[in-house]
Amino acid sequence: MNWLEERMPGIGRIAKDIAEHPVPSHTLNIFYCLGGLTLLCFIIQCLTGVFLAFYYKPTPEAAFASVQMITNEVRFGSVIRSMHHWSCQLMILLVFLHMLRVYYTGAFKKPRELNWVAGCFLLVLSLGLAFTGYLLPYEQLSYWASVIGAETANTLPVIGPTLKIMMQGGIKVTAEMLSRFYVLHVMILPAITIGFLVAHFIMIRVQGISDPM
Ligand code: HEM
Ligand code: HEM
């Protein structure tokens, strides 16, 4: 730390401020851990997702075969894939439970309204990540689930038909649908999620955790 402090004066104070921040006693229970556990799942998703991306091929011809190869041939491939799969299910469950904790403790009220709104974006982003990831193995179930998703988007007033075409790459499903979902899944949505998470945590730090009811 001294070595760093000499080169970047002030960094020790920031590290001390983070490490020595007291935890309010009323938050020492499982319900206040749900946000942190959601974050842990997101970190696991990013780490295991990068390993999957080393072998995954986002084309209609090769996607399913590459996922089969990850499962059957790549060393620890099935473990990494299972971790990605189950941590996704857990993340969605935990984010809803976290939202319920915030709601039932009234933590969305003044001055935390903006953080509730940031949280709503995080909820939609988490669902978007799970939805776009679902198509990637390109098996019957994932293909038709994405078609249903695109048709559901189609029913939205005004923007519906355009949204469907943007998702599928045309009136009918095209090869672009997989490329688009892949780019959304591994680049755009994780990057936007990280941005909202930073804002979420800065607001929590500035406002402090809400008082007990
Ligand atoms: C990826 C999703 C999310 C992550 C990783 C996350 C993470 C966290 C963490 C670590 C905390 C600290 C306290 C705690 O854990 O309970 C927190 C607090 C908070 N979160 Fe989230 N959150 C997410 C989604 C949401 C959603 C969906 C909402 C609501 C719509 C929300 C609203 C809030 C609010 C208002 C607080 C302040 C609570 C208080 O002061 O008691 N968050 N979040
Ligand atoms: C919160 C974040 C994420 C969620 C909820 C999520 C969810 C999913 C889901 C549900 C699947 C389908 C898996 C299956 O059925 O076996 C999947 C596949 C995949 N994900 Fe993610 N993912 C996330 C983040 C990432 C990130 C950050 C990357 C890469 C940088 C990534 C890369 C992949 C790849 C390559 C696949 C296809 C391989 C396979 O199906 O096993 N994911 N993801």
Structure tokens at 139: 């098996």
99 Cβ below 6 A of ligand 1: yes
- DSSP 8-state assignment for residue 31: G
30, 92, 122, best to mutate for ligand 1 pocket (most atoms within 8 Å of CB): 122
Residue 53 domain flag: yes
Is 27 part of a structural domain of the chain? no
Report the percent of the chain where pLDDT is more than 90. 92
Domain that holds residue 74: 32-206
Query: What distances in angstroms separate CA 48 from CA 61, 143, 185, 207, one per listed residue?
Result: 23, 22, 13, 33
Separation between Cα atoms, residue 142 and residue 207, nearest integer Å: 42
Q: How many domains does the chain have?
A: 1
Average model confidence (pLDDT) across the chain = 96
Distance 119 CA to ligand 1 centre (A): 6
Residue 84: inside a domain: yes
CA gap 178, 168 in Å, rounded: 8
163: domain CATH number?
1.20.810.10
Distance 34 CA to ligand 1 centre (A): 8
Ligand 2 atom, smallest distance to 91 CA: 5
Residue 5: inside a domain, yes or no?
Answer: no
Hey, what are 31's tokens?
A: 């319900």
The structure's pTM equals 0.94
- Using an 8 Å Cβ cutoff, are 123 and 99 in contact? yes
Reported ipTM: the value is 0.90
Looking at residue 209, what is its pLDDT? Answer: 94
| 80 part of a folded domain | yes
Which ligand 2 atom is at minimum distance from the Cα of 134?
12
Is residue 11 domain-resident? no
pLDDT at 18: 85
Write out the DSSP string of 13-28: HHHHHHHTPPPPGGG-
3 part of a folded domain: no
Tell me how many degrees the CA angle 151-155-158 measures, rounded to the nearest 5.
Answer: 125
How far from the centroid of its chain's Cα atoms is residue 138's Cα?
21
For the residues 59-73, what does the mean pLDDT come to?
Answer: 98
Place of tokens 């070595």: 3
pLDDT tens, position by position, 111-132: 999 999 999 999 999 999 999 9
